[in-house]
Copies of this chain bind each other. A is one copy, B any other.
Amino acid sequence: MKLITKLPDLRRELSRNRKGKRVGFVPTMGALHAGHLSLARRAAKDNDLVVLSIFVNPLQFGPQEDFSVYPRDLKKDMRLVKGCVQIVFAPQARDFYPFDFCTFVEVRGLSGEFCGRSRPGHFTGVATVVAKLFNAIQPDTAYFGQKDAQQAVVIQKMVKDLDMPVRVQVMPTVREKDGLAMSSRNAYLSLQERRDALVLYQSLKSAQRMVFSGLRETQKILGALEDFIAHTSGARIDYMSIVDKKTLQPLKVIEKEGLLLLAVFIGKTRLIDNAVLKIARSR
């Protein structure tokens, strides 16, 4: 496994080694957990050469957000992905965004709501860095987690709209034993907050039970969830919506399925989770 920090070195290494190989790509911000590892393992299974990027992308953080304290441990990350990954690409921000950088990719209409409303500019930062990484690596397939549901939709739309020659594979959310979605930001939680954080998963489960039991009006489902979350004193809803899973347009009624998006502050830590709510149990 090679660690590469400079783009020209990455291009040289790839042009030397990629010939005839399927190239898989896993973009990350480091602080790797089992969710990332499931992407890396799947990439290794599907491809001959796997590039994993580790880059805490300043462009996708707001000025009041956790960019400076976001967990970074390159050595540990590299140990974790050894065996699945051939190239770790970990550029420096000052190289990746030179002082005169001024080009942005904007997926209008999918970026302004939900996480985009709480985090203005976030998805433009995400789309821009992913476009750059796609161009740098030119992978056949790139792997993203369903945990960041809106991000996955935004990236898939960008790829489709801009005719990017890459296949996007979205992998299921990986969870702790008690159901909490794996997230690098879970590291911020105190013991009490770790317990409170379960309210997200419990809300998803509860919503699914309501739908199975025949409830279809999203307003009623969301109202019940609000009441439920209000009982956890350390939790504060940032947003909650049931939407079409491709267009992210809010649904009034769940006809076949709906994507429940959830963002909740647990203390100062903002956690997200989501689930596709189905009207019938899959056999």
Q: A residues within 8 Å of B by Cβ?
A: 7, 11, 100-110, 127-128, 131-132, 135-136, 138, 157-158, 161-165, 247
Contact = CB atoms under 8 A, between A and B. Distances in A.
A174 B142 CA distance: 43
Contact of A162 (B100, B105, B165, B247): B105
A20 to B, nearest CB: 11
A104 B102 contact: no
Nearest to A105: B105
Contacts of A107: 102-103
Copies of this subunit: 2
A105 to B, nearest CB: 6
A93 to B, nearest CB: 14
Contact of A157 (B11, B103, B109, B161): B103
Contacts of A109: 102
18 contacts: A11-B165, A100-B247, A101-B161, A102-B109, A102-B157, A103-B105, A103-B158, A104-B105, A104-B106, A105-B105, A105-B106, A105-B162, A106-B106, A128-B162, A131-B162, A135-B162, A135-B164, A138-B165
A136 B100 CA distance: 27
Contacts of A104: 105-106, 108
Nearest to A128: B162
Nearest to A97: B161
Contacts of A101: 161
Contacts of A100: 247
A135 B163 contact: yes
B103 A162 contact: yes
A14 to B, nearest CB: 10
A133 to B, nearest CB: 8
A88 B158 CA distance: 25
A192 B63 CA distance: 57
Contacts of A138: 165
Given A132-B162, A135-B162, A135-B165, 15 more contacts: A11-B165, A102-B108, A102-B161, A103-B105, A103-B158, A103-B161, A104-B106, A105-B106, A106-B106, A128-B162, A132-B161, A132-B163, A136-B163, A136-B165, A138-B165
Contacts of A103: 105-108, 127, 157-158, 161-162
A131 B106 CA distance: 13
